[in-house]
Every structure is written in C-alpha cells, then in structure tokens.
Amino acid sequence: MILAATFMAEARQVARAPLSDGWRFRQVRGVNWYPAAVPGVVHTDLMANGLLEDPFVGMNERAAQWVDKEDWEYVTSFDVPPAVYERENIRLVFEGVDTYADVYLNSQKVVVAKNMFRTWQVEVKRLLKPEGNELRVYLHSPVKIDLPKCLALDFAYPAVNDQSENGGLLNRKISVFARKAGYHYGWDWGPRLVTSGIWRPVVLEAWDGARFEDVHVSPGGVTAASARVSVTAEVSSGRAAQGVLTVADAESGTVYAEEPVRLEAGTNTVSAGFTLKNPRLWWPNGLGEPHLYTFAVSLKVDGAVADTRAVRSGMRDVRLVREKDADGKGASFTFEVNGHPVFMKGANYIPNDSFLTRVTAARYRDVVARARDANMNMLRVWGGGIYEDDLFYDLCDESGILIWQDFMFACSLYPADALMMENIRQEAVQNVKRLRNHPCIALWCGNNEMNDAYHGWGWKKYLEGKGVAEMVKAEYDAVFLGLLPEVVRQYDPSRPYRSSSPISDFNPEGSDTESGDMHFWQVWHAEKPFTMYEEVIPRFMSEYGFQSFPELATVKRYAPDEKDWDIQSDVMLAHQRHPRGNQLIRIYMKQNYREAKDFRSFLYMSQLLQADGIRIAQEAHRRAMPRCMGTLYWQHNDCWPVASWSSSDYYGRWKAQHYFTRKLYQEVLVSPYRTEDALRVQVVSDRLTPIEGTLTVRLMTFGGAVVFERRVAATVPANASVALFDEAVETVVAGHAPNAVFVSAAFEEKGRVLNDSVYFLVPLKEVALPRTVIERTVTPFKGGFSVALKSPVFARGVYLSTDEGLDDVYSDNYFDLLPGRAVVVTVRSAMAADEFNKALRVVSMCDAVVEGASAAE
C-alpha cells in the first residue's frame, strides 16, 4: 500500500519508492533468519537481535572480529501495484552496498557490486511480477574476497593504519584491495569493524517516456551585478521526441529559461542558460549570508511533464589562487571567494560512526552546527572515510561551510589494474556528478598523505627492494595524475583539483612551507614542543593536532566499571588506538603542567593541554596571514568514544579545544605572544571592511591588581593581521615576578569587545596559580539553568560538568575567570533543579593538581 501510494502521488512522472520493509538476514552457513533493518549493516542487525554485544563498550570490539569473515544473506519480498507494473520502465537502484554483493531478483542475478562508494542500478521490468517478488542480496566476506589477493603477492602494498593484527590476519593488510572506507579496517583513532550491509537506500524507480538522469546547475561569472547560470541535463528517452527544458524559481515561479530540445532514443544532453541580475551571493560562514537559490527544472515531452528536479545552488565564485612569490621560491595557497581572499578556519572531518547507518539526520545537523558555531568556514572531508550523505552537504551549503573534498584514498598505496581503474572511474564520476551542485564544494583532492608517504615514509625504498617501485608508482600516477583529474576536468571543470594532500608545487616528492599545503606532525609524533607551531608556518596548514581524552561522562559509556578508570587499564587502552598515545599525553603533560591528582582530573587536564597546544598553532597561523591562509586542525569529530585528536567527542560533547576554537576563529582575533625579550599583541581581522577600535593591554596580578595598562587606538585594515603592541617584557612586568602575573588583552569597537585573550609570560607549569573557591549561583529557567560564577582570584580553565546530565549543553566552558569578574553560563538540561544543584561540579586547574604542588615543582 505504501509503495502504491508513493507512485500514485507522483502521477505519471518519475516515481521513487523505497524497498525498506520486511527484510530478514542470516549467516550463510547458519539456518536461522532474523529481522533486519535496511539501510543497515550486519553488525547493527546482530546487535538489534541480541547476537552481538556493543563493540563500543569495554573490550567487546575483540569479540566482533568474526563477523567480517562470514558471508551474509538478506532477503525481502514485495508486490508491485498495477499502476506501477504498467509503467514503461522500472529500475532497481541500490544507492550503496557495502561492499561485495550479488543481488538476485526472482532468482536472477541482476547486480554484482564491488564498490561501497558506487550506486548500482538495473532495469528490471522484465523480471518483475505483480505479486510475490523476492529480492535477495548475498554479501561476501571482504576478508574471504581480498585475503587471497594479498597472499598472491610477494610484496605488501603499504597500509600503515590497517589494524590487521586486531582482525586476526597477522600483518596482511587487505584494506587496499577493496573500494571501501579505509577507517573500517582500523585507524589510530578508530576501531577495526569491517562492516557489510545494504548501507544506503534501495528503491524502485518507474517512468514512462523520458526522465532526467542528472541535472547540473553551474554558476559562472558571478559578481554583485550579475551571474551567468548554465543548466545541463542528461536525459534518457525511450524514443525520438520534441521537448521543452524549463528552468524556474521554485519559490516565485519566475521562469528563467525555456528551451526547445530534440530528444533521440537513448541518452541525450540538453541545456539552457540565463543571467541573474543583482544576485544574492553565497558567502562563507562569518562573511555574509550563504544564500541559496532553488531552481525548478522540468522537462516536457509532447506537451506533458515527463520529469522535474529541484536543484539548490549558490551564486558564488570560489578560486584557489596560486601566485608565485616575487623571489620565485614560493607560491600562495589562497581561497578567494567572490573576489576576496578568505582565511580558511576549520578542521578535518571523519565519518560520524563506525556503523554509518546509525548517523541520523539529527547527528548530521549537530556535527555541522558544531562547525558553524565554532566559527569555522571549511571542513576537509578526509579520504579514509566516505563521500558523505547528501544531507551533510546540504547542511554545509546552508551554513556557509566550504568543503575540501578528498577522493577516498588515504595513507596507503592501492593496486590499480584495468578492472580496478574502471571501478574507480565509475566511483569518481558518480560522486563528482552527485556533489557538484553544492556551492560548498571548494576543491577536489586525490588522496590523503600518499605522496608524502611514498617519498618520505620509506615506502619507495621498501618497494625498490622488492623490485616493484616503478610498477606501484605507475599505478599511483595513473589514478591521481591521470584518471581523477580528468574526471574533474570533464564533470566539474570550475573547481580545482590537487593530486594529494599535502604536496608542494616545487617539490613533487614532498611538502614544505613555501608552497602548497602542509601536514605538520612534529608536534605529537616527534615529541617537539608546542612552540614549534610558531616556527613552522606553511602557506596552508591542512593537518596538525594533539590528542586528549573525552570527559568522564563519555568514558563511563565505554568503561562503566570504576576499576577501569585508569588510562593504563585494558579498557582504556582499547579505546586509545595510537600505539604511543597515552605515553605522549603524559610526556607533554609533564612538560607543560603540574601533576594531575586523579583520573578525573587527568581527563580534564588532557583537554586543556590539547586546547592550549592547538591554540598556539591557530594563533600563529592567523597572525601569519596573508602568507598563511588556512588552518585545518585534526580532527572535528569521532566515530566512536575514544581518546583522540577530536575537538568534540563521539556524543557531540565539546572538548576544551572546541570552546577555545570558537573564540580563536572569531572574525577578530587578539593574539598576545612573547619573543625573547618583548611582549607583542597582534590583531587579526577577517572582516572585509576596516575596523576602528581600541586595543587595551593590561598586566594583572592573580588577585586583580593592574600593574601595567596601555590603550592603543588603531584602525585595523580589512582582511589583515597587524601588530598593535610591542614592548619590552621588563617594562611590562614592572618588577613583578613573571610567574605571578598574567596579560589581559582586548580589542573594542565602539565600546563592544570583539575579542579578548589571556596570556602567560612563562610556561603554565611555572605559573603560580592561586587556589580558589568559585562562588556559584544557580537560577532555573525553562529548559535549563543560569549559573553565575565569580572568583576572588584568577581561576584557570573553569570547567562545569554533571556526570548525570549526559546531554547537557553549556554556553561556555573551560574558560579563564578573571578576579572579581562575574561570568554567567547557561546550561540546557532536562534535570530537575535539586538534582542539577547536587550534580553540578565547578572546578579550575588549581583543583585538579596534586595538593601542595607549587610553581617550583
């Protein structure tokens, strides 16, 4: 009945109806059938039927490794209503199958799927019956399919993050043989959960005569005065016919273009063009409204509407400007939007779950809102995950978040024979065509870190020793220097393509600070101090980061037993995938902070440590504009609850770094920093107009006494970084001990503070932070509480939490509280007032260190 209603509602035009009901599944070598969810994956269906413990809890991941070594079968049945059965064409479409699958309709094999990232479709009218159709999907074990390919070689394609040992495969890295999300095989922040399933919708499509296969809306020549819009449609027609292609405004009905078209039997390309006068432009987050036009595109054949599409588009011009420096030794890497250079502020983005079908619309809205609310204007969709759901890109369009889009290759080398090349080509064509209408897409990138790895991680030397380096490099070149750029040139020529990230323009065997983009991991992997972020500043920093633990409320989800609350416990180590992660956090903690007094405090201080370290990088990159024009830290989100580089955890809880980032990514940044003998303050503005304001620089004791103050009236130019204060430290401290004072700097415009900052003249480990008791006053309001906080002395990293309020949302957290100055934090919470008052914890750094610790320790 639902199927029939869906078709009838769309009259005689193309109709789509999901085949999502009545699915069952079984282990092929078993006999029992169980209900299944489609879209879904085997792991989630096993969990739903009580056959598998949640792999995210405790050590359960280990007990789930058998799943990927089995074949699985999914079956459903359906009837086809007469109004559908009589249509001229009926197509079965699988929008995503993970990964190796044979599809049977009424016992006839109709699809052989071999790529998670592709859509599979087949004409099925001849196979359908009015009633009792059976649809069967046989999912082959990716281990059974790909392990023989690995064993047949006398060398290994490098795949450093493939956790084959955890999967019981010893050192056999099989992930490179499958066109499947690399992170499913494990990463240094994710579990090894190699899924299979029908992970995107299955639908029947039915139509008569002609239909749109694809509609591409491409703006060009965009200015404030006009924009040229080209609409190109791919049309399938069952016969030769006369038609009309019409483009109109979906809201007002204004017709922009109406073009007669001649259709031949088969596939046709038809187009229409028009000019928008005084268009409303699409702007990145923070620079203006990301306005979207919705174009209603329709095709009439012989006077009757055959098909319609609604396509959203933004009128914007985005260019990647690559201009050589005057000395010829470097080149810019600047995204220019609507004629203005724009500093990119953002993060790297990974899939939101190891089990992709659990990512709801609400979770997508939340993860994009987290980027928008932290003042980001770019996310890099990383190549070890997936080409994301349409909704993700829709939300980025609406939020003004530009997307650096990787193709799905990361940190490995991949075989590329003729069959695999064609498989990759189809994957690339489908996804470029699917995503190119989104104004958020700014750049296509071939892969993540593969060029750097081949030349700089020892891979070339290893392959030379095996006598296959030339062959493997030829495979690499064929994909990333040949196939992928050609697909982009053919299907999305207005956007730039980069073969790899990172990569230099002048040194194709690596990356550097003079051109191209850079990934900087000397901080973390090489144990370099945070101050290295101020020394190594590239033209565009597309990756860097530092780990922290999630807060205790999240840890309790995967380590509910208090006996496991030790970072060296088996459970905590299972949720730390970097082999040296805990050790590195301890090393940096010892270098920068005093000793944490207990497990809860260590979690809290690890977050401040991460935020403090990444802050140094973010400020250094922004201060260096226009030489440096982008900072994308690793990483925005998590795919499971874990210690990682994320700034917000699996459950969407903001870590300290995310709160810091929101302030550091504001349109105006106040950045104090110290050279050997001087204190300097720069003001950075992303505004496209100058700002007249006042910088106030104060040196204060922790008790609140002002021992130095200077006000500087200044005009900050548009889109610029300027130094407004430069004074000898000796003059500023005025005889006070540097570890007993702090710098407070703020920039005001017409009495309104645009940004402020607290800065310490010595490493925080040496700062003589006073102990304090923070006063708090809680006032309930509908849907939450207002918490007024005040301290008689300076309080570092004030942190509010309620372990019981798992979904509580704080307006601010991990902030510094200046002496005597009240701060009000709102908390959205469903807790009762007495419960909230009892559960609320307010701590600062002085509460987290070992009692009696002093600055001298």
Report whether 558 contacts 649 (CB < 8 A). Answer: no
64: nearest Cα among 146, 167, 165: 167
Q: Does domain 668-766 have CATH number 3.40.309.10?
A: no
Q: In whole angstroms, give the CA distance from residue 88 to residue 393.
A: 34
Residue 419 has a CB neighbour count (10 Å cut-off) of: 9
Residue 807's pLDDT is 82
Q: How far apart are CA 170 and CA 821, in angstroms?
A: 59
Instruction: Give the DSSP per-residue string, 393-413.
Output: HHHHHHHT-EEEEE-S-BSB-
First to last CA, the chain: 74
pLDDT at residue 2, rounded to an integer = 41
For residues 331 and 117, give the distance between their C-alpha atoms in angstroms, rounded to a whole number: 35
DSSP class per residue in 623-654: HTTTT--EEEES-S--SSS-SBS-SB-TT--B
Assigned architecture for domain 2-203:
Sandwich (2.60)
Residue ranges of the chain that CATH labels 3.20.20.80: 343-406+502-664
Map residue 590 onto helix, strand or coil: helix
Superfamily of domain 209-313: Immunoglobulins (2.60.40.10)
692, burial (CB in 10 Å: exposed 0-12, middle 13-18, buried 19+) = exposed
- Residue 12 has a pLDDT of 61
Question: Burial, 734: exposed, middle or buried (Cβ in 10 Å; 0-12, 13-18, 19+)?
Answer: exposed
Nearest CA among 636, 650, 671 for reference residue 378? 636
By the 8 A CB rule, do 738 and 762 touch? yes
Q: How far apart are CA 217 and CA 256, in angstroms?
A: 13
CATH number listed for the domain at residues 343-406+502-664: 3.20.20.80
**What residue ranges of the chain are covered by domains with CATH 2.60.120.260?**
2-203
Cβ distance 38 to 46 under 8 Å?
no
Beta-strand pair 72-78/24-27: antiparallel
Helix-, strand-, coil-residue percentages of the chain, each rounded to 5: 25, 35, 40
- Tell me if 42 sits within 8 A of 71, measured CB to CB: no
Give the number of other Cβ atoms within 10 Å of residue 713's Cβ: 9
> Please, which contacts does 552-557 make with residues 24 or more away whose CB atoms are closer than 8 Å?
552/600, 552/603, 552/801, 552/803, 553/653, 553/801, 553/802, 553/803, 553/805, 553/806, 554/641, 554/649, 554/650, 554/651, 554/653, 555/603, 555/641, 556/803, 557/56, 557/57, 557/641, 557/651
Give residues with Cβ within 8 angstroms of 834, minimum separation 6: none
Q: Which residues contact 836 (CB under 8 A, 6 or more apart)?
A: 778, 780, 785, 802, 805, 827, 829
Token digits of residue 648: 């917000």
CA atoms of 9 and 476, how far apart (whole Å)? 49
* Eight-state DSSP code of residue 739: G
Contact 446, 407 (CB under 8 A): yes
**Structure token pair of residue 303:** 């006077």
The answer, yes or no, to whether the previous bond of 626 is cis (omega within 30 of 0) is yes
Q: Write phi, then psi, for 385 (nearest 5 degrees).
A: -110, -115
Q: Please tell me which residue in 95, 205, 388, 449 is annotated as part of the active site.
A: 449
Q: Which amino acid is at 574?
A: A
How far apart are alpha carbons 588 and 26 in whole angstroms? 49
Q: What is the pLDDT of residue 366?
A: 98
Alpha carbons 558 and 55: distance in angstroms, whole number? 9
Q: What token pair was written down for 788?
A: 């007024």
Q: Which residue's entry shows tokens 């349409």?
A: 390
Would you state the structure tokens that stand for residue 618, as one six-digit string?
A: 């973010």
What residues have CB less than 8 Å from 526, skipping those under 6 apart? none
The tokens for 317 are 């011009």
CA distance 775 to 100: 60
- CATH for 775-848, among 2.40.50.90, 2.60.40.10, 3.40.50.1860, 2.40.160.20? 2.60.40.10
Q: Which of 548, 655, 551 is nearest to 600 (CA)?
A: 551
From the CB of residue 40, how many other CB atoms can be counted at a distance below 10 Å? 23
Residue 642, CA atoms < 13 Å, CB-side half-sphere: 28
812 sits in the region (left: phi over 0; alpha: psi -120 to 50; else beta) called beta
Distance in angstroms (rounded) separating the CA atoms of residues 294 and 162: 43
Residues of the chain short of pLDDT 70, as ranges, are 1-12, 804-805, 852-857
Q: Which amino acid is at 62?
A: R
Contact 716, 691 (CB under 8 A): yes
List where CATH 2.60.40.10 sits in the chain.
Answer: 209-313, 668-766, 775-848
Q: Is 543 a catalytic residue?
A: no
Which residues touch 38 (CB under 8 Å, ≥6 apart)? Answer: 19, 20, 23, 74, 76, 198, 201, 202
